[in-house]
Amino acid sequence: MYAFDIERPTSLADAKALLAGEAQALGGGQTLIPTLKQRLADPGTLVCLSGIAEMKGVTSGPDGVAIGGGTTHAEAAEGLKDAIPGLAYLASRIGDPAVRNRGTIGGSLANDDPSACWPAGALGLGATIVTDAREIAADDFFQGMFTTALEDGEIVTAVRFPVPEASAYSKMIQPASRFPLVAAFVARFPDGVRVAITGASEDGVFRWREAEGALSADFSPEVVTGQPEGPMIADLHGTADYRRHLCAVMTRRAVRAALDGTGGLSSAGA
Protein backbone atom coordinates (compact mmCIF):
# COMPACT_ATOMS: atom_id res chain seq x y z
CA MET A 1 0.00 0.00 0.00
CA TYR A 2 1.03 3.56 -0.59
CA ALA A 3 1.14 5.54 2.65
CA PHE A 4 -1.92 7.62 3.54
CA ASP A 5 -3.34 9.56 6.44
CA ILE A 6 -6.46 8.22 8.11
CA GLU A 7 -9.18 10.40 9.61
CA ARG A 8 -11.81 9.07 12.02
CA PRO A 9 -14.75 11.50 12.19
CA THR A 10 -17.64 10.72 14.54
CA SER A 11 -20.23 12.93 12.85
CA LEU A 12 -21.49 13.22 9.29
CA ALA A 13 -20.74 16.96 9.30
CA ASP A 14 -17.07 16.30 10.14
CA ALA A 15 -16.82 13.57 7.51
CA LYS A 16 -18.28 15.89 4.89
CA ALA A 17 -15.76 18.61 5.73
CA LEU A 18 -12.86 16.14 5.57
CA LEU A 19 -14.03 14.79 2.20
CA ALA A 20 -14.16 18.27 0.65
CA GLY A 21 -10.48 17.95 -0.34
CA GLU A 22 -8.71 15.12 -2.15
CA ALA A 23 -9.66 12.53 0.46
CA GLN A 24 -11.51 9.27 -0.16
CA ALA A 25 -14.23 7.72 2.00
CA LEU A 26 -13.61 4.31 3.61
CA GLY A 27 -16.77 2.29 4.35
CA GLY A 28 -16.22 -1.25 5.59
CA GLY A 29 -13.10 -1.59 3.46
CA GLN A 30 -13.87 -5.07 2.14
CA THR A 31 -13.23 -3.90 -1.43
CA LEU A 32 -11.16 -0.77 -0.86
CA ILE A 33 -8.51 -2.38 1.37
CA PRO A 34 -7.71 -5.17 -1.15
CA THR A 35 -7.62 -2.45 -3.85
CA LEU A 36 -5.15 -0.39 -1.80
CA LYS A 37 -2.97 -3.47 -1.28
CA GLN A 38 -2.72 -3.87 -5.05
CA ARG A 39 -1.65 -0.23 -5.29
CA LEU A 40 -4.62 0.42 -7.55
CA ALA A 41 -5.54 3.44 -5.42
CA ASP A 42 -3.42 6.17 -3.83
CA PRO A 43 -5.89 8.27 -1.85
CA GLY A 44 -3.56 10.46 0.21
CA THR A 45 -6.17 10.61 2.96
CA LEU A 46 -8.84 8.08 3.89
CA VAL A 47 -11.88 9.23 5.83
CA CYS A 48 -13.15 6.31 7.86
CA LEU A 49 -16.98 6.34 8.07
CA SER A 50 -17.38 3.44 10.52
CA GLY A 51 -17.39 5.66 13.62
CA ILE A 52 -20.43 7.71 12.56
CA ALA A 53 -23.32 6.43 14.69
CA GLU A 54 -25.97 8.45 12.82
CA MET A 55 -25.26 6.40 9.66
CA LYS A 56 -25.99 3.01 11.22
CA GLY A 57 -29.08 0.92 11.80
CA VAL A 58 -32.30 -0.31 10.21
CA THR A 59 -35.60 1.51 10.89
CA SER A 60 -39.06 0.51 9.66
CA GLY A 61 -41.79 3.10 9.15
CA PRO A 62 -45.00 3.61 7.18
CA ASP A 63 -43.02 4.60 4.07
CA GLY A 64 -40.83 1.50 4.12
CA VAL A 65 -37.47 0.59 5.57
CA ALA A 66 -34.45 2.87 5.91
CA ILE A 67 -30.95 1.45 6.29
CA GLY A 68 -28.08 3.70 7.36
CA GLY A 69 -25.24 3.82 4.83
CA GLY A 70 -22.76 2.61 7.45
CA THR A 71 -24.83 -0.45 8.37
CA THR A 72 -22.99 -3.73 7.83
CA HIS A 73 -24.41 -6.50 5.67
CA ALA A 74 -24.85 -8.68 8.77
CA GLU A 75 -26.74 -5.94 10.66
CA ALA A 76 -28.93 -5.29 7.62
CA ALA A 77 -29.71 -9.01 7.23
CA GLU A 78 -30.86 -9.16 10.84
CA GLY A 79 -32.83 -5.89 10.74
CA LEU A 80 -34.65 -6.71 7.47
CA LYS A 81 -35.82 -10.22 8.40
CA ASP A 82 -39.42 -9.31 9.14
CA ALA A 83 -39.84 -6.28 6.87
CA ILE A 84 -38.37 -7.50 3.54
CA PRO A 85 -37.31 -11.17 3.72
CA GLY A 86 -36.03 -11.18 0.13
CA LEU A 87 -33.64 -8.32 0.87
CA ALA A 88 -32.65 -9.88 4.20
CA TYR A 89 -31.74 -13.03 2.28
CA LEU A 90 -29.64 -11.02 -0.19
CA ALA A 91 -27.70 -9.38 2.66
CA SER A 92 -27.27 -12.69 4.50
CA ARG A 93 -25.39 -14.31 1.60
CA ILE A 94 -22.98 -11.54 0.60
CA GLY A 95 -19.36 -12.76 0.69
CA ASP A 96 -18.78 -14.74 3.90
CA PRO A 97 -19.51 -14.09 7.60
CA ALA A 98 -16.37 -12.03 8.25
CA VAL A 99 -16.97 -9.86 5.18
CA ARG A 100 -20.59 -9.31 6.27
CA ASN A 101 -19.40 -8.08 9.67
CA ARG A 102 -17.36 -5.22 8.10
CA GLY A 103 -18.74 -4.46 4.63
CA THR A 104 -21.52 -1.83 4.44
CA ILE A 105 -24.50 -1.19 2.21
CA GLY A 106 -23.34 2.37 1.50
CA GLY A 107 -19.89 1.22 0.48
CA SER A 108 -21.27 -1.47 -1.81
CA LEU A 109 -23.67 0.90 -3.56
CA ALA A 110 -21.05 3.64 -3.96
CA ASN A 111 -18.59 1.14 -5.45
CA ASP A 112 -21.23 -0.34 -7.81
CA ASP A 113 -19.31 -3.49 -8.68
CA PRO A 114 -21.06 -5.03 -11.72
CA SER A 115 -21.38 -8.31 -9.79
CA ALA A 116 -22.33 -6.96 -6.36
CA CYS A 117 -25.54 -8.00 -4.59
CA TRP A 118 -26.83 -4.72 -3.07
CA PRO A 119 -27.24 -2.95 -6.44
CA ALA A 120 -29.69 -5.70 -7.47
CA GLY A 121 -31.70 -5.23 -4.28
CA ALA A 122 -31.72 -1.44 -4.58
CA LEU A 123 -32.69 -1.40 -8.26
CA GLY A 124 -35.08 -4.35 -7.94
CA LEU A 125 -37.03 -2.63 -5.17
CA GLY A 126 -36.78 0.88 -6.64
CA ALA A 127 -34.94 2.20 -3.57
CA THR A 128 -34.05 5.81 -2.88
CA ILE A 129 -30.38 6.48 -2.21
CA VAL A 130 -30.00 9.28 0.33
CA THR A 131 -26.72 11.20 0.38
CA ASP A 132 -25.38 14.08 2.45
CA ALA A 133 -26.58 16.39 -0.37
CA ARG A 134 -29.73 14.93 -2.00
CA GLU A 135 -31.94 11.91 -2.72
CA ILE A 136 -31.39 9.82 -5.85
CA ALA A 137 -33.79 7.22 -7.27
CA ALA A 138 -32.13 3.86 -7.88
CA ASP A 139 -33.19 4.10 -11.55
CA ASP A 140 -30.93 7.19 -11.86
CA PHE A 141 -28.19 6.09 -9.45
CA PHE A 142 -26.57 3.18 -11.33
CA GLN A 143 -24.87 4.45 -14.47
CA GLY A 144 -22.66 1.57 -15.60
CA MET A 145 -19.82 -0.59 -14.31
CA PHE A 146 -18.34 1.05 -11.15
CA THR A 147 -20.17 4.25 -12.12
CA THR A 148 -22.90 5.98 -10.11
CA ALA A 149 -24.59 9.39 -9.93
CA LEU A 150 -22.47 10.25 -6.86
CA GLU A 151 -20.21 13.30 -7.05
CA ASP A 152 -16.68 13.18 -5.62
CA GLY A 153 -16.85 13.22 -1.84
CA GLU A 154 -20.63 12.59 -1.72
CA ILE A 155 -21.57 10.12 1.03
CA VAL A 156 -24.39 7.55 0.93
CA THR A 157 -25.96 8.24 4.33
CA ALA A 158 -29.01 5.97 4.01
CA VAL A 159 -31.04 3.86 1.60
CA ARG A 160 -34.85 3.80 1.72
CA PHE A 161 -36.68 0.72 0.45
CA PRO A 162 -40.41 0.44 -0.24
CA VAL A 163 -41.90 -2.79 1.14
CA PRO A 164 -43.10 -5.10 -1.67
CA GLU A 165 -45.92 -7.65 -1.53
CA ALA A 166 -43.33 -10.32 -2.23
CA SER A 167 -39.67 -10.45 -3.19
CA ALA A 168 -36.76 -12.86 -3.49
CA TYR A 169 -33.15 -13.08 -4.62
CA SER A 170 -31.62 -15.93 -6.56
CA LYS A 171 -27.87 -16.10 -6.92
CA MET A 172 -25.50 -18.37 -8.81
CA ILE A 173 -22.39 -18.09 -6.66
CA GLN A 174 -18.94 -17.91 -8.18
CA PRO A 175 -17.31 -20.03 -5.48
CA ALA A 176 -13.83 -18.46 -5.41
CA SER A 177 -15.02 -14.88 -4.91
CA ARG A 178 -18.55 -15.64 -3.62
CA PHE A 179 -19.81 -12.79 -5.80
CA PRO A 180 -22.78 -13.70 -8.00
CA LEU A 181 -21.88 -15.13 -11.38
CA VAL A 182 -25.40 -13.92 -12.19
CA ALA A 183 -28.16 -13.09 -9.73
CA ALA A 184 -31.72 -11.79 -10.01
CA PHE A 185 -33.81 -9.78 -7.55
CA VAL A 186 -37.56 -9.91 -8.18
CA ALA A 187 -40.09 -7.70 -6.36
CA ARG A 188 -43.86 -7.64 -6.76
CA PHE A 189 -45.69 -4.39 -5.98
CA PRO A 190 -49.42 -3.62 -6.38
CA ASP A 191 -48.65 -1.66 -9.56
CA GLY A 192 -46.25 -4.15 -11.16
CA VAL A 193 -43.16 -6.30 -10.89
CA ARG A 194 -39.51 -5.19 -10.98
CA VAL A 195 -36.62 -7.46 -12.00
CA ALA A 196 -32.98 -6.45 -11.50
CA ILE A 197 -30.06 -8.53 -12.77
CA THR A 198 -26.49 -8.29 -11.46
CA GLY A 199 -23.29 -10.04 -12.54
CA ALA A 200 -24.32 -10.30 -16.18
CA SER A 201 -24.09 -7.04 -18.08
CA GLU A 202 -21.05 -5.02 -19.05
CA ASP A 203 -23.17 -2.01 -18.12
CA GLY A 204 -23.57 -3.22 -14.54
CA VAL A 205 -26.86 -3.90 -12.78
CA PHE A 206 -29.93 -3.48 -15.03
CA ARG A 207 -33.71 -3.90 -15.11
CA TRP A 208 -34.95 -6.66 -17.39
CA ARG A 209 -38.04 -4.91 -18.74
CA GLU A 210 -39.39 -7.81 -20.84
CA ALA A 211 -39.44 -10.10 -17.81
CA GLU A 212 -41.04 -7.33 -15.73
CA GLY A 213 -43.86 -6.99 -18.28
CA ALA A 214 -44.55 -10.72 -18.41
CA LEU A 215 -44.42 -11.10 -14.62
CA SER A 216 -46.66 -8.07 -14.04
CA ALA A 217 -49.33 -9.84 -16.12
CA ASP A 218 -48.79 -13.25 -14.53
CA PHE A 219 -46.46 -13.68 -11.54
CA SER A 220 -45.34 -17.24 -12.22
CA PRO A 221 -41.95 -18.68 -13.21
CA GLU A 222 -43.12 -20.13 -16.54
CA VAL A 223 -43.71 -16.73 -18.11
CA VAL A 224 -40.02 -15.83 -17.86
CA THR A 225 -38.64 -16.82 -21.23
CA GLY A 226 -36.11 -15.42 -23.67
CA GLN A 227 -32.95 -13.52 -22.88
CA PRO A 228 -32.05 -9.90 -22.20
CA GLU A 229 -30.29 -7.90 -24.91
CA GLY A 230 -27.03 -5.99 -24.56
CA PRO A 231 -23.33 -6.75 -24.05
CA MET A 232 -22.70 -9.41 -21.38
CA ILE A 233 -19.59 -9.97 -19.26
CA ALA A 234 -17.31 -12.76 -20.51
CA ASP A 235 -14.44 -14.09 -18.38
CA LEU A 236 -12.86 -17.37 -17.32
CA HIS A 237 -15.83 -18.12 -15.06
CA GLY A 238 -18.47 -17.95 -17.78
CA THR A 239 -19.05 -16.88 -21.36
CA ALA A 240 -21.36 -14.05 -22.37
CA ASP A 241 -23.87 -16.60 -23.70
CA TYR A 242 -23.82 -18.53 -20.43
CA ARG A 243 -24.48 -15.38 -18.42
CA ARG A 244 -27.26 -14.34 -20.81
CA HIS A 245 -28.84 -17.78 -20.36
CA LEU A 246 -28.57 -17.57 -16.55
CA CYS A 247 -30.63 -14.35 -16.44
CA ALA A 248 -33.87 -16.24 -17.09
CA VAL A 249 -32.86 -19.19 -14.90
CA MET A 250 -32.11 -16.94 -11.93
CA THR A 251 -35.27 -14.87 -12.50
CA ARG A 252 -37.49 -17.97 -12.58
CA ARG A 253 -35.91 -19.28 -9.39
CA ALA A 254 -36.40 -15.91 -7.70
CA VAL A 255 -40.08 -15.86 -8.68
CA ARG A 256 -40.52 -19.36 -7.28
CA ALA A 257 -38.82 -18.34 -4.01
CA ALA A 258 -40.98 -15.19 -3.81
CA LEU A 259 -44.11 -17.32 -4.23
CA ASP A 260 -42.87 -19.81 -1.60
CA GLY A 261 -41.94 -16.98 0.75
CA THR A 262 -38.43 -18.36 1.31
CA GLY A 263 -36.61 -15.11 0.51
CA GLY A 264 -34.20 -16.66 -1.93
CA LEU A 265 -31.73 -19.34 -2.80
CA SER A 266 -28.13 -19.74 -3.88
CA SER A 267 -26.24 -22.39 -5.75
CA ALA A 268 -22.55 -22.79 -6.44
CA GLY A 269 -21.75 -22.25 -10.09
CA ALA A 270 -18.80 -22.59 -12.44
Q: Least distance from C-beta 159 to other proteins, angstroms?
A: 22
- Provide, for the chain, the percentages of residues in helix, strand and coil under a 3-state DSSP scheme, each rounded to the nearest 5: 35, 25, 40
Assess contact for 154 and 76: CB atoms under 8 A: no
Nearest-CA neighbor of 137 among 207, 62, 209, 32? 207
The reply to whether 21 sits near other proteins by the rule CB under 8 A is: no
Q: Which C-beta is closer to other proteins: that of 8 or that of 245? A: 8
Q: What strands, in cross-sheet order, belong to the sheet with 58-61?
A: 58-61, 64-68, 156-161, 128-131, 135-137
Q: Which of residues 49-68 bind other proteins (CB under 8 A)?
A: 50-51
Assess contact for 62 and 22: CB atoms under 8 A: no
Assess contact for 97 and 74: CB atoms under 8 A: yes
Q: Least distance from C-beta 33 to other proteins, angstroms?
A: 5
Q: Which C-beta is closer to other proteins: that of 164 or that of 199? A: 199
Q: Using the rule CB under 8 A, give the single segment among 31-39, 59-67, 115-123, 248-256 that binds other proteins.
A: 31-39
Q: Which of residues 143-182 bind other proteins (CB under 8 A)?
A: 176, 178
Q: Which C-beta is closer to other proteins: that of 102 or that of 245? A: 102
The CA angle 157-111-227, to the nearest 5 degrees, is 115
- Which of 15, 19, 36, 105 is the binder for other proteins (CB under 8 A)? 36
Rounded Cα–Cα distance for residues 79 and 270 (Å): 32
Q: Using the rule CB under 8 A, give the single segment among 25-33, 152-160, 183-191, 194-202 that binds other proteins.
A: 25-33
Question: Alpha helices, DSSP H only, in 194-239?
Answer: 209-217
Cα→Cα distances 52→9, 139, 160, Å: 7, 28, 18
Q: Which C-beta is closer to other proteins: that of 108 or that of 251? A: 108
Decide the pairing of beta strands 166-173 and 264-268. Answer: parallel
Q: Least distance from C-beta 142 to other proteins, angstroms?
A: 24
- Which of 21, 34, 231, 261 is the binder for other proteins (CB under 8 A)? 34
Q: Least distance from C-beta 173 to other proteins, angstroms?
A: 9
Q: Which C-beta is closer to other proteins: that of 4 or that of 242? A: 4
The reply to whether 98 sits near other proteins by the rule CB under 8 A is: yes
The reply to whether 227 sits near other proteins by the rule CB under 8 A is: no
The reply to whether 33 sits near other proteins by the rule CB under 8 A is: yes
Rounded Cα–Cα distance for residues 215 and 226 (Å): 13
Nearest-CA neighbor of 181 among 250, 127, 264? 250
Q: Which C-beta is closer to other proteins: that of 3 or that of 20? A: 3
Q: Which residues bind other proteins (CB under 8 A)?
A: 1-6, 8, 26, 29-30, 33-34, 36-37, 46, 48, 50-51, 74, 95-99, 101-102, 176, 178
